[in-house]
Amino acid sequence: MQYIGYNGGRGIPYSWLTWSALGYAHLVMDNRGQGGGGKNTADTVDIGPDGNGSSSPGFLTRGIEDPYRHYYRRLITDAVRAVDAAKSHAAVDASRVAVLGGSQGGGLALAVAGLRDDVVAAVADVPFLCHYRRASQITDAGPYAEIARWLSGHRFRIDEAMETLSYFDGVNFAARATAPAWFSVGLMDKICPSSTVFAAYHRYAGPAQIEVFTYNGHEGGAEYDLPRKIEALRGAFGQ
């Protein structure tokens, strides 16, 4: 079960051949309302209190006044229910489902691992959606800069905004997760600062490993880290 990075969409099928070529059933979840920023397009509209079709970034502050209306409440619900969809498919062994993703996809994988007890592994590459308060204070790179920009105009609503975001924080989901997990982090990452990734990693309640890429940014290990993930999932699936 794979989740996609911020403002990305499912794109086109032949962009996702790696895992199927290895013999795995591979479901890629579209990001509702995302895909409007020049990356792979998304085709799933965001139907909700503030919902609309595909649009450019700004998702972190949509509904930031209320956790029940926040955009990530809907997207994380999608991520959890996507596992149900995967498990219901005739080609899938429902007892062996793993979740993985990079950046926003990594944050969603952490959320699902924390909310479900029936996944066998989680892979979170350079995960986004972790330790919002710190991230918004130490980097002016997007997407965390969206929070800082909103708070610069709402000076007295910091605690309110951070309370809302805490409901969707990978650090809190990590503390609930028990499936074996594999993280990666780039120490020069300005988009998802390494300290925010380590915050989730150190709170992870299950067995976890992390690969540190000292001189890399948000690309992390990129394709060069794929063999490690293949080996990790083979072990998790008992192969």
62 with 51: CB under 8 angstroms? no
Question: Could you give the residue numbers annotated as active site?
Answer: 103, 189, 218
Q: How far apart are CA 200 and CA 74, in angstroms?
A: 21
> Alpha carbon of 135 to those of 88, 128, 142: distances in Å?
37, 10, 10
Please name the residue ranges forming H helices in the chain.
Answer: 18-21, 71-87, 104-115, 132-138, 145-153, 158-166, 170-174, 194-203, 226-236
Residue 239, CA atoms < 13 Å, CB-side half-sphere: 12
Q: How far apart are the first and last CA of the chain?
A: 18
Angle at 30 between CA 178 and CA 97, to 5 degrees: 30
Question: CA-based Rg of the chain, rounded to a whole angstrom?
Answer: 17
- Both tokens of 237, joined, read 């699936």
Residue entry with tokens 């397009």: 41
